[in-house]
């Protein structure tokens, strides 16, 4: 037997309480019984988004919500600005290209946060731009982006919105949609929402809904106005067959999140992230990001260690799944997740495994050095006694 630990930034571990709830016999989705669950879930989701807007639930992965943001707001030949600071930022440009949207790229070195003045300059150079598309947390480089500051720029413009991919940020960091003036926020189920993959979420401000009225991009399944007509309070259903089991699981997840309290949840994530950075540094490894994410921490594997083989060994020989790198970071990094159903002893497990693996790969590290440095921070989770 090899006990398995899932420590990747999506999919993440699903709590037993949620698994048990989803194991109940299937119910039909066009029933008062399902609608009651749907309505309650939507209200709780809106608390986590910190918005008065409708949060719509789609049966798709997160990329579906990204695409629906583009095609519901814009029309072919419109201009948008997007931040390409990694694999997921790049995706905005790929989506835009499919719909003949003029996408102005702000390219950022992997591991860096975008300079807000570069966005300001792009907005000035492209006054016709209808949106700035950005990741709150760019998972490929484990980097947080200054979405609040960017929202201040778009907020001053009548016909320009900020669209935030919060797929590994919502439920991790405090990013109140309404208070910060975020026009569109998208997220997905298999990250901080502690569910299997298959659900995406999207919320639009009034300004963004207004913009959708002029959009002429082709859309059928991802027509958000049609979804809203069905999902609003009182209707409490979805345009198409919903991923009912996942929505029932989501109902349980949101109860867990709200029982913990959002402030406590953000603090837990901050402590786990800080502890992970301390562990990485204690092992003499280098962080990838100069603006490290609260959701996951990326570190370069030591010179001479093949990062691909390292992550594979951890997964297949030791039973601990981390994520490696993508594109030019492939084979060079390990990404340790700490979003969703994670707590202090998951971080200890992560460093214990990494230390053993480093030694097995011929890179001697003091056993317990990373664990110990992390523990010193993790102790903050518990009150002093005596």
Binding site for ligand PLP (CB under 6 A): 10, 61-63, 88, 135, 137, 139, 165, 167-168, 188
The least distance separating ligand PLP from the CB of residue 135, rounded to whole angstroms, comes to 5
The least distance separating ligand PLP from the CB of residue 117, rounded to whole angstroms, comes to 23
DSSP H helices in the chain: 16-22, 32-49, 62-73, 87-98, 116-125, 147-155, 177-180, 206-212, 224-231, 244-260, 262-282, 307-316, 344-360, 369-378
Taking the least distance from each CB to ligand PLP, the nearer of 135 and 297 is 135
Using CA atoms, how far apart are residues 74 and 94, in angstroms rounded to an integer?
Answer: 15
The least distance separating ligand PLP from the CB of residue 60, rounded to whole angstroms, comes to 8
Taking the least distance from each CB to ligand PLP, the nearer of 63 and 267 is 63
The least distance separating ligand PLP from the CB of residue 72, rounded to whole angstroms, comes to 17
Taking the least distance from each CB to ligand PLP, the nearer of 68 and 137 is 137
The least distance separating ligand PLP from the CB of residue 147, rounded to whole angstroms, comes to 12
215 HSE (CA, 13 A, CB side): 27
Taking the least distance from each CB to ligand PLP, the nearer of 95 and 365 is 95
Bridge partners (DSSP) of residue 109 are none
The least distance separating ligand PLP from the CB of residue 112, rounded to whole angstroms, comes to 16
Using CA atoms, how far apart are residues 108 and 84, in angstroms rounded to an integer?
Answer: 6
The secondary structure of 231-265 as a DSSP string is HSTTT---SS---HHHHHHHHHHHHHHHHH-HHHH
Asked if residue 20 has a cis previous peptide bond (ω within 30° of 0), the answer is: no
CA nearest to 160, candidates 183, 179, 180, 141: 183
Taking the least distance from each CB to ligand PLP, the nearer of 131 and 370 is 131
Taking the least distance from each CB to ligand PLP, the nearer of 159 and 245 is 245
SS3 call for 181: coil
CA nearest to 66, candidates 194, 166, 144: 166
The least distance separating ligand PLP from the CB of residue 90, rounded to whole angstroms, comes to 10
Taking the least distance from each CB to ligand PLP, the nearer of 139 and 375 is 139
Using CA atoms, how far apart are residues 182 and 205, in angstroms rounded to an integer?
Answer: 7
Using CA atoms, how far apart are residues 201 and 204, in angstroms rounded to an integer?
Answer: 10
Phi and psi at residue 318, in whole multiples of 5°?
Answer: -110, -10
The least distance separating ligand PLP from the CB of residue 65, rounded to whole angstroms, comes to 8
The least distance separating ligand PLP from the CB of residue 12, rounded to whole angstroms, comes to 11
SS3 call for 197: coil
Contact status, residue 146 vs residue 137, Cβ threshold 8 Å: no
Listed in sequence order, the residues at least 6 apart from 126 whose beta carbon sits closer than 8 Å to its beta carbon are 79, 81, 104
Taking the least distance from each CB to ligand PLP, the nearer of 83 and 347 is 83
Taking the least distance from each CB to ligand PLP, the nearer of 165 and 227 is 165
Both tokens of 193, joined, read 């929402």
């Amino acid at each position: 037997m090899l006990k398995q630990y899932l420590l990747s930034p999506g999919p993440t571990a699903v709590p037993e309480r949620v698994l048990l709830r989803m194991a109940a016999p299937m119910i039909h989705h066009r029933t008062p019984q399902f609608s009651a669950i749907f309505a309650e879930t939507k209200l709780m989701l809106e608390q986590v988004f910190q918005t008065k807007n409708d949060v719509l639930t789609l049966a798709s992965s997160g990329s579906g919500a990204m695409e629906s943001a583009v095609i519901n707001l814009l029309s072919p030949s419109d201009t948008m600005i997007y931040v390409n600071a990694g694999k997921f930022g790049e995706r905005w440009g790929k989506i835009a290209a499919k719909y003949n949207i003029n996408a102005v790229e702000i390219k950022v070195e992997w591991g860096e946060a975008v300079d807000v003045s570069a966005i300001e300059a792009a907005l000035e150079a492209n006054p016709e731009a209808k949106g700035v598309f950005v990741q709150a947390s760019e998972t490929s480089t484990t980097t947080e982006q200054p979405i609040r500051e960017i929202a201040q720029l778009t907020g001053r413009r009548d016909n320009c919105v900020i669209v935030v991919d919060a797929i590994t940020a919502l439920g991790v960091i405090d990013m109140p949609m309404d208070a910060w003036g975020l026009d569109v926020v998208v997220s997905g189920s298999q990250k901080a929402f502690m569910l299997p993959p298959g659900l995406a979420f999207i919320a639009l401000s009034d300004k963004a809904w207004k913009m959708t009225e002029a959009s002429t991009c082709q859309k059928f399944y991802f027509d958000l106005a049609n979804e809203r007509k069905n999902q609003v309070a009182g209707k409490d259903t979805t345009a198409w067959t919903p991923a009912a089991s996942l929505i029932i699981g989501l109902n349980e997840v949101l109860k867990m999140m709200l029982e913990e309290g959002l402030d406590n949840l953000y603090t837990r994530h901050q402590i786990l992230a800080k502890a992970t950075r301390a562990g990485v540094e204690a092992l003499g490894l280098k962080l990838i990001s100069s603006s490290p994410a609260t959701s996951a921490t990326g570190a370069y594997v030591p010179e001479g260690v093949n990062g691909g083989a390292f992550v594979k060994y951890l997964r297949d020989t030791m039973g601990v799944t981390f994520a490696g790198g993508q594109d030019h970071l492939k084979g060079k990094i390990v990404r340790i997740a700490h979003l969703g159903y994670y707590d202090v002893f998951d971080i200890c497990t992560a460093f214990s495994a990494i230390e053993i693996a480093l030694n097995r790969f011929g890179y001697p590290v003091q056993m317990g050095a990373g664990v110990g440095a992390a523990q010193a921070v993790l102790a903050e989770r518990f009150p002093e006694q005596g």
